[in-house]
Amino acid sequence: MAGGEPAGRGAISRRGALGGAVAGAAGIAATRVDPAGAKPPKGPGRKRSRDVVVVGAGLAGLAAARSIREAGRSVVVLEARDRVGGRTLNHPIGHREVVEIGGQWVGPGQTRVLEMIDDLGIETFDTYVEGKSVYYRNGSRSEYEGIIPPVAGPVLVEILTAINDMNAKAATVPVDAPWNAPEAEDWDGQTLKTYLDGLGLSAEARMVVELGITSVFAVEPRDVSMLFVLLYIAMAGADFNNLINTTGGAQERRIVGGSQLISLKLAKRLGNAVRLEQPVGLIRRTRTGVSVRTPSGTWPAKRAIVTVPPALMGGIDFKPPLPANRAQFDQRMPMGTVVKCMAFYDAPFWREAGLNGMTTSDQGPVRLTYDNSPPDGRPGVLLGFIEGQDARDLAGATDQERKAAVVECFARYFGSEAESRMTGYVEKSWAADPWSRGCYGGITPPGAITGYPGVIRRPFGRIHWAGTESATQWGGYMDGAIQSGQRAAAEVLAKL
Ligand SMILES: Cc1cc2nc3c(=O)[nH]c(=O)nc-3n(C[C@H](O)[C@H](O)[C@H](O)COP(=O)(O)OP(=O)(O)OC[C@H]3O[C@@H](n4cnc5c(N)ncnc54)[C@H](O)[C@@H]3O)c2cc1C
């Protein structure tokens, strides 16, 4: 399914109101809403004005809409795609099971997403970690227990020293005003690469640290501001391990029914307030509020919350135009590059060999793998990420070429059975998706945080900003998306 939406998901017409369309997108019977022949409203209808119009039905937009509705205010959510969930997307794999081809894990400290999950009656389960992990370096494969790959003592010391140094620096970065960090100018004046160069790490320590960081940002060390890296760590509790760990970290738990279920349930509660296939092309300031244009009409409201990532903001025309600094900041937050790939098996055969499905490798294109099987282990699912330059290098490859490269990696780490027993395969290139253009989130190159302080959350008249890129806790994650939506809703409600 490279580069597009999963096969079989396009069958339901989704223009207009939510109806059964959103649930159909996920293939989850429990959340299916049957429109029962009701004629879905196609457009705004008789210029009905709402208190708030929200652009984007990802977690940020839906969380914002929920808060606004709970405060007794009227809201409409306009979503460009034919589904809700944004960067979360379930993929049905039969027997009422799903895998996620977008965001999936939650972990300790992510209080907002965990509360939301609880509120919606959704359950979580532990990521599979029983057994040994695979380490692949310089063409040689080994197995190990625990979190850190089996490197020699001095290399381990180097890795831990680098992590401790980043953590100590991150602890000085204010999450809501990183430009005020004591050494903000210096850190925002260099890339992560420059910083790592300065540490003088051995080749192996450098590879492990870089791999950990690429797995978080999906860019190369040369691409990202050191201050942005430190901000990310600060937003995750000032401990880099919280970002990269499975147990005790951001990859600890998975969501029964898939992470898109959160959005599906939120959207179901919002009913007709969620409108699909409504790409917003114009947001105009009016005498009394805002007027938002989609192909099916104009949606007037007192205020707007825009949740699209900064990298996509250029696709929306603003009248009057965005202030210079906002427009320039949006030019400075590109998305990371990820292809999320999964191979299916009748059973997770690697478990029989005492393996937990996790790999750390210095050879791409897949350098990190996980066991992504459903809770009962049927079917077995191997998950691999192609990230950063590896993903860019394969962007022009055919689906078959990319799949062959991925399966070759799986076989390298888990033996020939990874190829011979494979029953299916799915992948999604998020950079190829016009409504995301990359993931996991936006990053900033040097100069953007200190050059445009505060711009990302500063309202423009009656237009407010949300989206995980604007979060101050767990930015880039589902938790950050929800936090940003709730924050923007509070901002708007205070003004209504
Ligand atoms: C492969 C992958 C793996 C990830 N892994 C994890 C993980 O394990 N854990 C985790 O917490 N996070 C993970 N993430 C990140 C997480 O999914 C995102 O941080 C989160 O979903 C972002 O939510 P959002 O609402 O801020 O943005 P989005 O989900 O991007 O929502 C924005 C919405 O706006 C819509 N839109 C865009 N332009 C317009 C327009 N002009 N008009 C109308 N609508 C528009 C989009 O279609 C989209 O629905 C992952 C993401 C990906 C893609």
pLDDT in tens, 280-334: 999 999 999 999 999 999 999 999 999 999 999 999 999 999 999 999 999 999 9
**Angle of the 192-199 helix axis to the 153-170 helix axis, nearest 10:** 130
Residue 5 confidence (pLDDT)? 36
- 70-96 tens-digit pLDDT: 999 999 999 999 999 999 999 999 888
Report the nearest-CA residue for atom 33 of ligand 1: 56
For the chain, the average pLDDT equals 91
196 and 210 Cβ atoms separated by less than 8 Å: yes
Split at pLDDT 50, 70, 90, the class of 430 is: very high
- 21-69 tens-digit pLDDT: 333 333 322 223 333 333 445 566 556 899 999 999 999 999 999 999 9
Residue 424 phi/psi, 5-degree rounding, is -170, 170
Per-residue pLDDT for 367 more than 90? yes
Q: Specify which residues 390 forms β-bridges with.
A: none
Among 316, 440, 474, say which to mutate for ligand 1: greatest number of ligand atoms within 8 Å of CB: 440
Whether omega before 295 lies within 30 degrees of 0, making that bond cis, reads no
Ligand 1 centroid to residue 87 C-alpha, Å: 3
Ligand 1 centroid to residue 68 C-alpha, Å: 20
Q: How far is CA 39 from CA 20, 61, 464, in A?
A: 12, 25, 32
Which value, to the nearest 10 degrees, does the dihedral of the CA atoms of residues 181, 186, 189, 194 take? -120
Helices (H), 218-348: 226-235, 240-244, 260-270, 324-330
- 120-178 tens-digit pLDDT: 999 999 999 999 999 999 999 999 998 889 999 999 999 999 999 999 999 999 999 99
Q: Structure pTM?
A: 0.92
Report the nearest-CA residue for atom 35 of ligand 1: 56
Nearest Cα residue to 97 out of 256, 261, 268, 263: 256
Q: How many helices (H) and strands (E) does the chain have?
A: 17, 20
Say yes or no: CB of residue 249 within 6 Å of ligand 1: no
Say yes or no: CB of residue 477 within 6 Å of ligand 1: yes
| Amino acid letter for position 408 | E
Per-residue pLDDT for 112 more than 70? yes
| Amino acid letter for position 349 | F
Per-residue pLDDT for 204 more than 70? yes
Ligand 1 centroid to residue 379 C-alpha, Å: 27
Per-residue pLDDT for 474 more than 70? yes
Residue 30 confidence (pLDDT)? 29
Contacts of residue 466, Cβ cutoff 8 Å, sequence gap at least 6: 60, 61, 64, 305, 306, 307, 481, 484, 485, 487, 488
3-state SS, residue 90: strand
Say yes or no: CB of residue 303 within 6 Å of ligand 1: no
Report the nearest-CA residue for atom 36 of ligand 1: 56
Q: Which atom of ligand 1 is nearest to the CA of 59?
A: 25
Q: Kindly write down the DSSP assignment for every residue of 166-181, as one continuous string.
A: HHHHHTTS-TT-GGGS
306 and 55 Cβ atoms separated by less than 8 Å: yes
Taken in order of first residue, the domains within the chain and their CATH numbers are: 16-88+259-322+460-495 (3.50.50.60), 90-109+124-130+251-257+336-432 (3.90.660.10), 148-244 (1.10.405.10)
Q: Which atom of ligand 1 is nearest to the CA of 430?
A: 53
Say yes or no: CB of residue 311 within 6 Å of ligand 1: no
Residue 23 confidence (pLDDT)? 36
Q: Kindly write down the DSSP assignment for every residue of 423-463, as one continuous string.
A: -EEEEEEGGG-TTTSS-S-B---TTHHHHSTTGGG--BTTE
Rg (CA), the chain: 22
Say yes or no: CB of residue 459 within 6 Å of ligand 1: no
Q: Percentage of the chain with pLDDT > 90?
A: 89
Among 215, 294, 308, say which to mutate for ligand 1: greatest number of ligand atoms within 8 Å of CB: 308
